[in-house]
Amino acid sequence: MPQVNDARVKDVSCEFEDTPFRTPLKFGGRVVDGSQIVNVAVTVETADGRRAVGHGSMPLGNVWGWPSPNIAPVDAAEAVRRLAQSASRWLASYPDAGHPLDIGNDLEHALEDLAAEVVGELGLSEPMPRLMALVAASSVDAALHDAYGKVHGRSVYVCYGPDFVARDLSHYLTPEFQGEFLDRYVSSAPRPTFPLYHLVGAMDPLSAADVARPIDDGLPETLADWIDRDGLTHLKIKLSGDDPAWDAQRVLDVDRIAEEAGRRRGRAGWRFSLDFNERCDRPEQVLDLFDRLRAESPGALEKIQYVEQPTARDLTAHPEADMHRVAAVRPVVIDESLTGLDSLLLARQRGYSGVALKTCKGHGQALLMAAYARKHGLFLCVQDLTCPGASFLHSAGLAARIPGVEAIEGNGRQYCPAANRRWEDRFAGVFHPRDGVIQTGLLSGPGLGH
């Protein structure tokens, strides 16, 4: 049934901007030296004639979303650009007034056909992965939610109750959510501060001795320098996955640098997350790493807060990748495999005990996955896609509105800080952590908060 607060899409625009990196980032066996960001603006109108414009922004992330040996990165990037434009046109022609959760849900269902059209136009040899399609459309979905909150003159995070949404959560999730709405799982006000996870890339220097060619741009160049400048307490460590000895040594080296910096600052207490970028063939490799750390430095093992998805993203094709034993040691969060409810249910069967929320898969989907995770007591974290500027503000705002989220990753300030500049005067406390935390309470404006 139509709701009195429904809004109708009146206009959609889509633009792209290139974002070079100050230093390369290696993940999943590939090196990335820049990204392209899609910026979307959506105009909506209510039945009584009020209008507002919302904005969404997201790196297209084709190297992460479509790491195929059969598709050249340049071809994948072009396909993602075209799908972002196609999703924008789809939304511009949406015929009905509604709530962003429902309109976004319809867009998700349309993505397979839209992506197939793009792949056909370009003559590519394989279908676009669902993960990649979600990333392509995520800025469209974000702009829609932002516009909806703004047209009602409030944060969109208070627009998910029965006064705004026609269907309860059982329509989007499982029958156990009957009678419940997202307002039960989302905070009406942002959490004031959040610890920031700083990325330690596989190519990133840890100390001055590791710097082969200085960048000399005035920013920190080593992990030790970053810790000293920002007072970091949470470190995300990129690992190889297929070399437990190297991985163990990398964790030990990071732990040593962190402890030395902590002594200089007179502070103790660290949290690490481990990111194998799906490079482990089997869970035993993670357990092997745990055993090595337990033998060489139990303190380093104790610092590990959670492990990101260590094995291949196709859970159906790899039933041997069961995480029950790993999760008995540390929480294991589903990441690349998480593309909707079905994948989350399968991940739980395979032993995953946590969820990595990412706005690059769609704002609405992130909220729904958070609701399911909270109901079932799963570990929660928020990660980004080297998101700068508005895309990081969106990610940080999401984290600040989901109770139970432990920490947020934000590495745009490390790799593409120039893209933050137009936002830094208003949100310096979000882009520049102090004592290891960012000021998410600043993200309290209408719409998505920024």
Which pair of tokens denotes residue 40?
């979307």
Which residue is listed with tokens 């997201």?
Answer: 58
Q: Can you tell me which residue has the tokens 């739980």?
A: 348
Closest CA to 86 of 53, 120, 54, 43: 120
**What is the 3 state secondary structure string of the chain?**
CCCCCCEEEEEEEEEEEEEEEEEEEEECCEEEEEEEEEEEEEEEEECCCCEEEEEEEEECCHHHHCCCCCCCHHHHHHHHHHHHHHHHHHHHCCCCCECHHHHHHHHHHHHHHHHHHHHHHHCCCCCCCHHHHHHHHHHHHHHHHHHHHHHCCCEHHHCCCCCCCCCCHHHCCCHHHCCCCHHHCCCCCCCCCEEEEEEECCCCCCCHHHCCCCCCCCCCCCHHHHHHHHCCCEEEEECCCCCHHHHHHHHHHHHHHHHHHHHHHCCCCCEEEEECCCCCCCCHHHHHHHHHHHHHCHHHHHHEEEEECCCCCCCCCCCCCCCHHHHCCCCEEECCCCCCHHHHHHHHHCCCCEEEECHHHCHHHHHHHHHHHHHCCCEEEECCCCCCHHHHHHHHHHHHHCCCEEEEECCHHHHCHHHHHHHHCCCHHHHCCECCEECHHHCCCCECCC
Distance CA 402, CA 418 (A): 29
Residue 341 identity (one-letter amino acid):
L
User: Is 141 buried (19+), middle (13-18) or exposed (0-12) by CB count in 10 A?
Assistant: buried
Give me the average pLDDT of each 10-residue run along the chain (450 residues): 89 97 83 94 97 98 95 96 98 98 98 98 98 98 98 98 96 98 97 97 94 94 96 96 94 97 86 95 95 96 97 93 97 97 97 98 98 98 96 98 95 96 96 97 98
Burial pattern 33-53, b for ≥16 Cβ within 10 A else e, equals eebbbbbbbbbbbbeeeeebb
Token duo for residue 419? 């893209």
* pLDDT of 291: 97
Neighbours of 188 (CB within 10 A): 12
The pLDDT score that the predictor gives to residue 176 is 98
Residue matched to tokens 């007072």: 231
CA–CA dist 29, 297 (Å, integer): 27
Model pTM above 0.95 = yes
Q: Among 384, 376, 4, which Cα is nearest to 185's? A: 376
Q: How far apart are CA 223 and CA 259, in angstroms?
A: 12
**CB-based contact 147:52 (threshold 8 Å):** yes
| Per-residue pLDDT at 264 | 87
In angstroms, the CA 56 to CA 389 distance is 11
Tokens 């269902």, located at residue: 109
- The distance of Cα 18 from the centroid of its chain, to the nearest Å, equals 20
How high is the pLDDT of residue 30?
81
**Closest C-alpha to 45, from 87, 89, 96:** 96
